[in-house]
Amino acid sequence: MSEIIPERIGRIAPYEPVQGDYPVRLDANESFVGLPQSLRDELAGIVSGFAFNRYPDPLAGEVTALFAAYHGVDPAYLTAGNGSDELIALILGSFLDRGECVLTASPDFSMYRFYASLSGARCAQIQKDESLCVAAEALLSAALREKARLIIFSNPCNPTAQGMPAKEVLWLTDSFDGLVVVDEAYMDFWDQSVLDEAALRPNLIVLRTCSKALGLASLRLGFAAACPPLTQALRKVKSPYNVGGLTQAMAAAVLRHPDVLREAAARVVASCRSLHGALTELAGKYSGIRVYPTRTNFVTVASPYAGRLYDGLLSRGICVRRLDALLRITAGSETENAVLISAFGELLAQGAGGPDTTQGR
């Protein structure tokens, strides 16, 4: 089969989300807030009269205009994608030639490396230290050293929950010759967006998604903001009907209720704050666990016992995300958070992360 399936595909490890039934799912950074019934009824009405036989609007004009209005930007600079994942794949697949270098940081969103390797680009990584932060200067010097043509990172970052101030992002963009792609999937939870700067810069693409704060992960809708030449290029290389008609119609209906969306985002922020507080309190009682500050809808925890904690949570029906020594815990409903905290406390008390005897290992 080696001649039929390119070697670079053989080398790729498939993305394997957790399968199975876990009563508490805090592993995918989804919103725990459901749509209100009145809005669900509105959506049902749209489905019942929907023209399923017609191709959708190739530029998803209506939903793009509503998304732009929600964020206070001009829709002319936005390109809609089938999730921001499609846009990441599109950018890394079309804006790089084979063997050209893309720079990411590590840890960061794993799909950057995935799509870069699919396209045959070379992926260079800069390792973050224990602070889990990366400075713009460090990214720039790594980019120059590696002769990178493209820098991509998430801000605030998944899975670290840390962020780079807008000023630094813009400095990096203005100091770099190549393309800078800033993935703002979690920027609804922080205030350092550069979304409105994208139109003004020749080498900046800002990605946003409806999957996190807006609670529409299942619809698959994301946007890229960029200057006119980049926007034209993106629209040229995307497949013509990339965003499904139902997705466009459903998301447009939801975006017509910005008050509902803002209230949902505020509930997520409050939940995350309380989860962070409770985890910090636990970490104060036991050694071997560090809770990071968060700019997102999840809390990142580092522990040499991450594996034991992860398995222990899973056996109690609680699913979080594990990346080596990090656990990424999505803010859930009050009940979900309480279940998580109680199980976490139990595991720590049983010695999954301390007390003191384990220090220094």
Among the listed residues 222, 288, 312, 354, the single contact to ligand PLP using CB under 6 A: 222
We find the least distance from the C-beta atom of residue 154 to ligand PLP, in angstroms, to be 4
Q: Residues binding ligand PLP: what is the number (CB under 6 A)?
A: 14
Which residue number, 209 or 287, has a Cβ lying nearer to ligand PLP?
209
Long-range contacts of 93-96 (CB under 8 A, 24+ apart): 93/118, 93/119, 94/233, 94/237, 95/149, 95/150, 95/179, 95/233, 96/121, 96/149, 96/150
Structure tokens at 312: 């222990």
30: contact with ligand PLP by CB under 6 A: no
Among candidate residues 73, 79, 58, 71, the one with its CA nearest the CA of residue 224: 79
Which residue number, 111 or 343, has a Cβ lying nearer to ligand PLP?
111
332: contact with ligand PLP by CB under 6 A: no
287: contact with ligand PLP by CB under 6 A: no
The DSSP code sequence of 270-332 is: HHHHHHHHHHHHHHHHSSS-EE---SSSEEEEE-TTHHHHHHHHHHTTEE-EEETTEEEEE--
Which residue number, 161 or 289, has a Cβ lying nearer to ligand PLP?
161
294: contact with ligand PLP by CB under 6 A: no
158: contact with ligand PLP by CB under 6 A: yes
Backbone CA torsion sign across 294, 298, 299, 304: negative
209: contact with ligand PLP by CB under 6 A: yes
Which residue number, 218 or 335, has a Cβ lying nearer to ligand PLP?
218
217: contact with ligand PLP by CB under 6 A: yes
Binding pattern to ligand PLP, positions 168-197, x when CB under 6 A? ---------------x-x------------
We find the least distance from the C-beta atom of residue 49 to ligand PLP, in angstroms, to be 27
323: contact with ligand PLP by CB under 6 A: no
Measure the CA–CA gap between 347 and 45, rounded to whole angstroms: 47
Which residue number, 161 or 260, has a Cβ lying nearer to ligand PLP?
161
The DSSP code sequence of 152-184 is: EEESSPTTT-----HHHHHHHHHH-SSEEEEE-
We find the least distance from the C-beta atom of residue 8 to ligand PLP, in angstroms, to be 22
Measure the CA–CA gap between 293 and 277, rounded to whole angstroms: 10
Among the listed residues 64, 117, 154, 247, the single contact to ligand PLP using CB under 6 A: 154
Which residue number, 149 or 321, has a Cβ lying nearer to ligand PLP?
321
Among candidate residues 131, 96, 128, the one with its CA nearest the CA of residue 112: 96
Among the listed residues 67, 68, 78, 83, the single contact to ligand PLP using CB under 6 A: 83
Q: Which value, to the nearest 10 degrees, does the dihedral of the CA atoms of residues 244, 250, 253, 259 take?
A: -120
Measure the CA–CA gap between 135 and 188, rounded to whole angstroms: 22
Measure the CA–CA gap between 249 and 125, rounded to whole angstroms: 39
Which residue number, 148 or 221, has a Cβ lying nearer to ligand PLP?
221
325: contact with ligand PLP by CB under 6 A: no
List interacting residues with ligand PLP (CB under 6 A).
29, 83-85, 109, 154, 158, 183, 185, 209, 211-212, 217, 222
